[in-house]
Structure 1
């Protein structure tokens, strides 16, 4: 049996390995080379697994996926072997992380941004505020987050440095065999708008810098790394670099969605905003000291949609003062069933694209935990919670993606409330027994399923939203059970306009009346594509249509023209509604894609003139007239001479 060294960090160029390594590297390399030499175009999944067992027996070593990928990269660098696509497509771990078409990386902001002693100026009673103590290495945590949550641990290990968080997480994903060239970044930690502006700009700058320099050699304390440039310069570089940021998501409150905040978000090329709604019942919100009510949510969503952002909301069930009936009433207030049997939005002021359904959990360092310690029990029964969550999932419209159904809080923190970490899986099993289904996007994603790619339909769902009209254009299977991709198009007479009102954070005064502000005049009378997404195993941006299948043993639905089909349909709808310009709120890393589709950069949006459609229509009309005249003349000529 091979001796095992102590756990230590191993670094090679841009990769960081946090695994046990065998002392006898020669055996592992021989195993790898032998494995690669026995794989060919015709090797199946089943044959590969048999081959792996045979190699383990032959070489007396059992290296896992991560160590094999690390050695593979190192051997290529040392020219011991050549790149082998067959090995790459089989040696994958956690493949589902890339089946949504992108690779997601989550980073957290500092608990002490530029020395500031808070990360959220509010005090919601259910929200943890973990102080410095021995178990977290005497480091306080960003508001709402706990030290032992996976992403939070990674942030602590990297001292909350934005670039190092990206480098280490991308390295871990690459060593799992996953592509990291199309990255969607999620920024968590406290309330984004509560952080100092200069800290926020520097943090986001460092995210782009991390992507732009990911493949640079980081040995010798990064002594060979280039200096960090300005935010705008790093964004410019990211358009054509190897690792591209195709989406950037921030987390804030609805009452923080102000004019200045939106301008800064767009300067950073933020494309999605997560906002905590939690509930719409006034008494429940008052009980938890939320300080953010229906009108704030209505205004925040209005402002985000009319600037083209994708909107993700958080809803919390089982809150203090709530009941199963009140939580079901919340769902009924937001969603309604239509004549075709599908659910849609009931309130045009509360619409969104993604949601997280979070059951309330009592944890340490919260006011609600103090209530529990005094003998108050704040939760309804677990059976009632299951019933409410099933009700919520089964009522969710097919245009919404349920990103999460429970929060990833380790059970050790949970004092009361849900303590079942795999609750979503159990819910789906329970729903299946009851012949109930969730029609949300996540439950219908094609992922790596084997399907008939030629048997698809284009479906269009519509709904009113914040004074405008939304089109959810999707490519699906005929039974609508599988979704391959979709496009969100917004047509609004108030595009580029936002509402200012409610609580002014700068002046600390109450503004009684909402007032329209023309924040982005260049979006006035412009149709806006808020999202374009194609699902399936993520295909690197350098791949061509013909070799997208070759890069994965699973089904890949990217680079098949679905995106262009959806975009053309959005343009057609815009023209039919008398729009002459269309815009896309595009991530930096996909700007080149839109350029190929005829779009050009304008004020950090990709925009396209649609007047050519009118020219095409006029040409078609002119040709039709000529053909009619020709046919009539030809018929008259024949009658005269017969």
Structure 2
């Protein structure tokens, strides 16, 4: 690394333009290093030179070295953490059970492979992901944790609680180490920072005593002031595993988003695939979660046995036409035939045949056209390797193919993901406040946003429930309007920084919250309750909110 750092330093002080021709630069360096350096290595050398104050910060170099820039262009740093294998309560005919893996996950999928290699230890997974993102030029300070694995509710309570607590603990401990790289010598003895103790071990001892016995609430309290803040957390489950007790636990754990495997909006298809629940369970679970303020994600599977392209499109229409559904985000996973499954037997017997790629692409285009402005398509395809894919699409770039086809057909998708501002994040006079209304689960939802004719810059989901059944679980929600989500899009930047033309830290979120408060007051609500991620609580405190029953609450 020292040689690489010296080469980088020499080029910078010689004012050689690096970021426009990294391939050429790497080949020149390779003659000395006897190998071609990776971007992550160059970025690490660059950061060392910065910390040694040998160079000034160069945004062009940082941008050109950043790998997979899209990862943090929605304003947050999302990444998955996988739980260990545990028996699944479902018997779906398409699900594979690989030994040593949670059901439906395969060990050669990227997130699953990492988790298995790290023995499903949440601590090591978090450390590895944060380290990787920083080495590739990202600033993972606003973490959106996606907990994946089997049905979350089916895991033992003690394991779930310890798993999620460890996520907070690891973010806290890494924050301490980042802020105090030299241990005791780096500490100001009169500092009031929650992380100002003398070493990682003393941090755990002073603040927590025995790590295994710490209540998750203490870990969450510390994370409010951490460098690596958990600003959102999602889990995967089934609608028939959602009840009042489970929802209360989810809030205690800091969960803000729930992903539910729905798969089909047809009871006959659900029965045929042995899903184990009906649409009534979906309606009940969705209403309970929405009235508790959660953001809701549906998993939808076109091309299931018993369906066809037209029925898939009809079910997509139903998902958004029926006010009992209307998810905030969706993941679309076209059915794939996997070995050692009941579906594989049907395929072998000629009783099931997946769509060809052209039929699937056109079906997905039609489905995308049903998705309204308030919904985000998180995933459009699941990338399953040829090691497992017996039949079904093998096109890992299906999303790009569909985008190209839609452009040729002059079709625009209005989902949130397709409108996020991302790298085009420059505020201008055309960006206006917009309010749109729709009904969901017997209450009015308002989608408040800042957008122009092309891009979405910021959004807030406001719910105005006339009566809220979840007040029996959370009394604080009585006569409260709910903010279920607030997000500002565009490239994520460190919390301490501000850009002149970007969208982050420009008060767009604050303005949307103020608008929501005005609307709630006009509709005679006594207060607003926000299902805040743990790491965003301090942001809301500055706007006059206080923590009550896991919600950030402000009386109007």
Deviation, 1:30, is 1.1
Q: Name the structure 2 match of 1:625.
A: none
Q: Is 1:416 aligned to residue 391 of structure 2?
A: yes
Q: Name the structure 2 match of 1:637.
A: none
Report if aligned partners of 1:319, 1:378 keep a CA contact under 8 Å in 2. Answer: no
Q: Name the structure 2 match of 1:254.
A: 239
Q: Name the structure 2 match of 1:34.
A: 10
Deviation, 1:51, is 7.7
Once the two structures are overlaid, the 10-residue window that deviates more, 445-454 or 580-589, is 445-454
Q: Aligned with 1:413: secondary structure?
A: coil
Report if aligned partners of 1:489, 1:527 keep a CA contact under 8 Å in 2. Answer: yes
Report if aligned partners of 2:431, 2:450 keep a CA contact under 8 Å in 1. Answer: yes
1:275-326 deviation digits (Å, cap 9, x = unpaired): 0111111111111000111100000100000000000111110001111121
Residue from 63, 80, 83 that aligns with 1:109: 83
CA distance in 1, matches of 2:56, 2:151: 44
* Correspondence 1:356-371 to 2 at 5 A: 356-371=331-346
Q: Name the structure 2 match of 1:202.
A: 162
Q: Is 1:179 aligned to residue 139 of structure 2?
A: yes
Q: Name the structure 1 match of 2:42.
A: 68
Report if aligned partners of 2:26, 2:37 keep a CA contact under 8 Å in 1. Answer: no
Assess, with a 3 A threshold, how the Cα gap between structure 1 residues 50 and 257 changes in structure 2: closer, same or farther: same
CA distance in 1, matches of 2:540, 2:53: 40
Q: Name the structure 2 match of 1:595.
A: 541
Q: Is 1:124 aligned to residue 92 of structure 2?
A: yes
Report if aligned partners of 1:246, 1:590 keep a CA contact under 8 Å in 2. Answer: yes
1:133-183 deviation digits (Å, cap 9, x = unpaired): xxxxxxx10011111000000001110001110110111111001001110
CA distance in 1, matches of 2:176, 2:518: 44
Q: Name the structure 1 match of 2:502.
A: 556
Which structure is larger by alpha-carbon Rg, 1 or 2? 1
Report if aligned partners of 2:123, 2:166 keep a CA contact under 8 Å in 1. Answer: yes
TM-score after normalising by structure 1? 0.78
Q: Give the alignment's Cα RMSD to 1 decimal.
A: 2.3
Q: Aligned with 1:540: secondary structure?
A: coil
Assess, with a 3 A threshold, how the Cα gap between structure 1 residues 34 and 230 changes in structure 2: closer, same or farther: farther
Q: Which 4+ runs in 1 deviate beyond 6 A?
A: 222-225
Q: Which has the higher strand share?
A: 1
Q: Name the structure 2 match of 1:146.
A: 106
Query: Unmatched 5+ residue regions in structure 1?
Result: 1-24, 113-117, 132-139, 336-345, 499-516, 550-554, 611-642
Report if aligned partners of 1:217, 1:224 keep a CA contact under 8 Å in 2. Answer: no
Q: Name the structure 2 match of 1:518.
A: 472
1:82-116 deviation digits (Å, cap 9, x = unpaired): 6735454543221111100000110110015xxxx
Assess, with a 3 A threshold, how the Cα gap between structure 1 residues 460 and 71 changes in structure 2: closer, same or farther: same
Query: Unmatched 5+ residue regions in structure 2?
Result: 182-199, 205-209
Residue from 512, 528, 535 that aligns with 1:582: 528
Q: Is 1:490 aligned to residue 463 of structure 2?
A: yes
Residue from 200, 203, 227 that aligns with 1:242: 227
Assess, with a 3 A threshold, how the Cα gap between structure 1 residues 51 and 106 changes in structure 2: closer, same or farther: closer
Residue from 121, 124, 128 that aligns with 1:164: 124
Assess, with a 3 A threshold, how the Cα gap between structure 1 residues 177 and 146 changes in structure 2: closer, same or farther: same
* Correspondence 1:626-641 to 2 at 5 A: none
Deviation, 1:596, is 0.9
Report if aligned partners of 2:433, 2:451 keep a CA contact under 8 Å in 1. Answer: yes
Report if aligned partners of 2:490, 2:504 keep a CA contact under 8 Å in 1. Answer: yes
CA distance in 1, matches of 2:294, 2:226: 24
CA distance in 2, matches of 1:349, 1:283: 19
* Correspondence 1:462-481 to 2 at 5 A: 462-477=437-452, 479=453, 481=454
Q: Name the structure 2 match of 1:332.
A: 317
CA distance in 2, matches of 1:193, 1:239: 26
1:49-108 deviation digits (Å, cap 9, x = unpaired): 24884585377454232001223445566x484673545454322111110000011011
Report if aligned partners of 1:35, 1:52 keep a CA contact under 8 Å in 2. Answer: no
Aligned residues: 525
Residue from 10, 18, 28 that aligns with 1:57: 28
